[in-house]
């Protein structure tokens, strides 16, 4: 067990910091400090191209695909320095963190060649087509249908909560390719180009006034026969593999975002005098401890190479951060008080902390509600009987 970094790693940290700070002070000054997902998307794609050119885009990937085969420690360091330098998050985070690793694990060589460079360079933006209106937390009851017609897949159905679909180029879709199949069987995992007549995107306005999520409609949407990842009927396996990547090094980047939020709250507490309130002090201390424990939990799950046993840190990670962040939003509002309920301008638009309060209500829902997470933990982690499915 070792938590500190070696001299060579500290040297690597300096290298990362120097390059990133240089970029943010120079050519990409104009995007420094952006915290939203989509602001200045085009400029950010240029930035991601710059990352790719300098082999900083996906350092954990193999060298042949533009990565550096970086060690875990190096990936941790890069993620930390990336956030510390005020570099905005990746526009293509779904591509980089989910689609890319999925292709690396399950894609053919041709598929890798076709997609990976564009993903790394922020040119091929991905979104995720898993959830459906009748199956929010229940991937196994997917009803979107795919059938092979000649050398094309034809897809019909509807997805929902397709985050960022409106700025994406591609969507990966889990659909039912075997007529009459049920549950996790008979599903197929396809990569589909969004810009086609058969796909329609309708934004869903959220409670914070934004529209980051979408409904995505498929009416005879098409993709070539070789767009499937894995084999026909292996969609469930691929989807589960993909979801495991959600707990990869990207969690550290997410945590740096949380760090920024908590730092904002600490600053607000000092500014409003709430920092002198013992009740607020306890809650801030708890939030700080919770964030640190997420960091070390992530270190544990990333360090773990023994996949024969249940990894408790990984299994509990989603509910941990989602609950933490929802609490953080409430803490923020309790600190800023009624001022947090007033928008700065004339539009229904929220600054970071009130937005955190509103937006974080979705954290405990998407990607498996807290209730679903508890089922998984009890069933997979503790061997409790599975919740029986009904037949309604």
Partner 1 sequence: MEFVFTEEQQMIGETAKGFFVENATSKRTRSAMASDGIDRDLWTGFCQELGLAGVTVPEIYGGAGLGQVEFALLAEAAGAQVAALPMVGLAMASQAILAGGTDAQKAAWLPKLVSGSVIAVCAGSADVTAQGDSLTGTFEFVPHGASAEVFVLGNDAGAWIVERSAPGVEVTAHVTMDQTRPLATVTLRNAHGDKLADGAAAMRAAREAGWICVAAEALGGAQEALDRTVAYAKERVQFGRAIGSFQAYKHRLADMMIEIEQARSAVYWAACAADEQSSDLPLALHAAKSFAADTYAKCAGDMIQLHGGIGFTWEHDAHLFFKRARAIQSMLGNGNWHREQVASMILGEAA
* Catalytic center residues: 246
Choose among a copy of itself, partner 1, none what residue 59 binds, the Cβ cut-off being 5 to 8 Å by kind. none
Token reading at 364: 């405990």
**CA–CA gap between residue 220 and residue 163 (Å, rounded):** 22
Choose among partner 1, a copy of itself, none what residue 33 binds, the Cβ cut-off being 5 to 8 Å by kind. none
Q: H or E stretch including 319?
A: helix 317-336
Hey, is 266 helix, strand or coil? helix
The partner residues of 174 in beta bridges, in order of sequence, read 189
Examine residue 383 and tell whether it contacts a copy of itself (CB under 8 A).
Answer: no
| Binding test (CB under 8 A) with a copy of itself, winner from 169, 178, 200, 277 | 277
CB of residue 269 vs a copy of itself: minimum separation in angstroms? 15
Choose among partner 1, a copy of itself, none what residue 121 binds, the Cβ cut-off being 5 to 8 Å by kind. none
Residues from 279 through 308 that contact a copy of itself (CB under 8 A):
279, 282
Examine residue 6 and tell whether it contacts a copy of itself (CB under 8 A).
Answer: no
Name the segment binding partner 1 (CB under 8 A); options: 36-44, 95-103, 108-116, 132-140. 132-140
Name the segment binding a copy of itself (CB under 8 A); options: 187-195, 249-257, 271-279, 352-360. 271-279
Task: Count residues near a copy of itself (CB under 8 A).
Answer: 4
Kindly report the number of other CB atoms within 10 A of residue 160's CB atom. Answer: 19
Choose among a copy of itself, partner 1, none what residue 195 binds, the Cβ cut-off being 5 to 8 Å by kind. none
Confirm if 88 and 44 have CB atoms less than 8 A apart: yes
Examine residue 9 and tell whether it contacts partner 1 (CB under 8 A).
Answer: yes
Choose among partner 1, a copy of itself, none what residue 233 binds, the Cβ cut-off being 5 to 8 Å by kind. none
Q: Which is nearer to partner 1, 84 or 300 (CB)?
A: 300
Choose among partner 1, a copy of itself, none what residue 209 binds, the Cβ cut-off being 5 to 8 Å by kind. partner 1
Q: H or E stretch including 229?
A: strand 228-229
Hey, is 389 helix, strand or coil? coil
**CA–CA gap between residue 104 and residue 97 (Å, rounded):** 11
CA angle 173–175–181, rounded 5-degree value: 160
Task: Count residues near partner 1 (CB under 8 A).
Answer: 99
**CA–CA gap between residue 189 and residue 125 (Å, rounded):** 17
Distances from the Cα of 378 to the Cα of 219, 310, 313, 321, 390, angstroms: 39, 12, 14, 18, 19
Residues from 23 through 52 that contact a copy of itself (CB under 8 A):
none
| Residues listed for the chain | 392
Residues from 275 through 334 that contact partner 1 (CB under 8 A):
275-276, 278-279, 281-282, 284-286, 288-290, 292-293, 296-297, 299-300, 302-306, 312-313, 315-316, 319-320, 333-334
List CB contacts of 346: < 8 A, sequence separation 6 or more.
none
CB of residue 278 vs a copy of itself: minimum separation in angstroms? 5
Distances from the Cα of 152 to the Cα of 136, 147, 176, 225, 227, angstroms: 28, 8, 15, 5, 9
């Amino acid at each position: 067990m070792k938590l500190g970094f070696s001299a060579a790693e500290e040297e690597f940290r300096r290298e990362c910091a120097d390059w990133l700070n240089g970029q943010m002070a120079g050519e990409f000054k104009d995007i420094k400090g952006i915290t939203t997902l989509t602001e200045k998307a085009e400029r950010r794609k240029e930035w991601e191209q710059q990352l790719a050119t300098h082999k900083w885009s996906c350092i954990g990937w193999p060298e042949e695909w533009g990565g550096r085969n970086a060690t875990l420690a190096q990936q941790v360091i890069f993620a930390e320095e990336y956030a510390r330098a005020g570099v905005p998050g990746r526009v293509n985070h779904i591509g980089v963190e989910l689609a890319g690793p999925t292709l690396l694990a399950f894609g053919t060589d041709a598929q890798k060649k076709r997609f990976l460079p564009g993903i790394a360079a922020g040119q091929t933006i991905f979104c995720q087509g898993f959830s459906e209106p009748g199956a929010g937390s229940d991937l196994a009851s997917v009803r979107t249908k795919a059938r092979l017609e000649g050398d094309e897949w034809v897809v019909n159905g509807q997805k929902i909560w397709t985050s960022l679909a409106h700025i994406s180029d591609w969507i990966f879709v889990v659909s039912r390719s075997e007529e009459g199949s049920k549950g996790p069987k008979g599903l197929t995992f396809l990569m589909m180009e969004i810009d086609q007549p058969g796909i329609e995107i309708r934004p869903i306005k959220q409670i914070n006034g934004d529209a980051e999520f979408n409904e995505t409609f498929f009416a005879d949407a098409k993709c070539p026969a070789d767009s499937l990842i894995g084999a026909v009927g292996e969609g469930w396996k691929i989807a589960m593999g993909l979801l495991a990547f959600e707990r990869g090094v990207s969690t550290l980047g997410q945590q740096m975002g949380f760090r920024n939020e908590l730092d904002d709250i600490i600053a607000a507490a000092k500014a409003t005098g709430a920092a002198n309130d013992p009740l607020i002090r306890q809650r801030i201390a708890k939030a700080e401890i919770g964030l640190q424990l997420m960091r070390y939990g992530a270190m544990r799950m990333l360090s773990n190479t023994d996949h024969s046993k249940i990894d408790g840190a990984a299994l509990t990670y989603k509910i941990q951060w989602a609950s933490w962040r929802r609490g953080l939003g409430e803490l923020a509002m309790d600190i800023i008080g009624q001022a947090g309920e007033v928008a700065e301008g004339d539009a229904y638009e929220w600054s970071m902390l009130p937005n955190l309060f509103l937006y974080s209500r979705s954290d405990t829902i998407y990607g498996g509600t807290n209730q679903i997470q508890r089922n998984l933990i009890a069933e997979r982690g503790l061997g409790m009987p599975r919740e029986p499915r009904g037949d309604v």
